[in-house]
Amino acid sequence: MTFEEAIAYTEALLSRKDLDELQLESEISALVQTSNGARGFFVCFLTGEWQLADAPSMPIIKAFQSAPDAIAELLVKNLAMSTAMAIFHRRVGNEEQAQGSDRVARRTGLLIEKVRLAEVYEIATQMRNSAISNEGNYVSFLEKWGYDAEQKQAIANVLANG
């Protein structure tokens, strides 16, 4: 499945009203087992108008817990990126996009809190350390996106709360 197909699949899946909780868990669990599936799911889930994203159900949490290696880094990167982008959007005077980034950060933080995976906390610690020291595993990630000192401080702060 491509990244684009995973986005479309997630949208169709989350729009369905005929799935019971076990079916939803099974579908999401299968989807997040692959990199494209997990990335596509999170793009759709975190940015869309889904009530489930603001109050994730136990089947969604269980589906994520079934694939810690696939989702851990994505959750941390989504939280870091949305936090940094909210700052960028405010700097350029785009409050609507800043609020969208804030919503993604809030939803991602809630997922991190609810999945309670050691892998997520380990990566969050590594990312935070890279943001503070400009050393470590995630320096290239932070440099790739061109985050400045204020954005890296905001990333370190949001990851300290995990």
With vertex at residue 90, the alpha carbon angle to CA 50 and CA 144, rounded to the nearest 5 degrees, is 85
Asked if 21 and 91 sit in the same domain, the reply is: no
| Residue 58, H or E segment | helix 58-65
Within 8 A by CB and 6+ apart from 3, the residues are 36, 39, 40, 43
Number of domains in the chain: 2
- Would you state the pLDDT for residue 162? 53
**Each residue's pLDDT tens digit in the chain (162 positions)?**
999 999 999 999 999 999 899 999 999 999 999 989 999 999 999 999 999 899 999 999 999 999 998 899 999 999 999 999 999 999 999 999 999 999 999 999 999 999 999 999 999 999 999 999 999 999 999 999 999 999 999 999 999 965
Asked if 33 and 103 sit in the same domain, the reply is: no
Q: How far apart are CA 19 and CA 130, in angstroms?
A: 42
Q: Which domain holds residue 2?
A: 1-66
Asked if 122 and 76 sit in the same domain, the reply is: yes
pTM over 0.75: yes
Asked if 73 and 152 sit in the same domain, the reply is: yes
- Would you state the pLDDT for residue 56? 93
Asked if 10 and 76 sit in the same domain, the reply is: no
Asked if 159 and 90 sit in the same domain, the reply is: yes
Asked if 23 and 39 sit in the same domain, the reply is: yes
Asked if 82 and 109 sit in the same domain, the reply is: yes
Q: Which residues of 127-145 are buried (b: 16+ CB within 10 A; e: fewer)?
A: bbbbbbeeebebeebbeee
Asked if 133 and 77 sit in the same domain, the reply is: yes
Write the single-letter amino acid at 92: V
- Would you state the pLDDT for residue 109? 95
Asked if 153 and 112 sit in the same domain, the reply is: yes
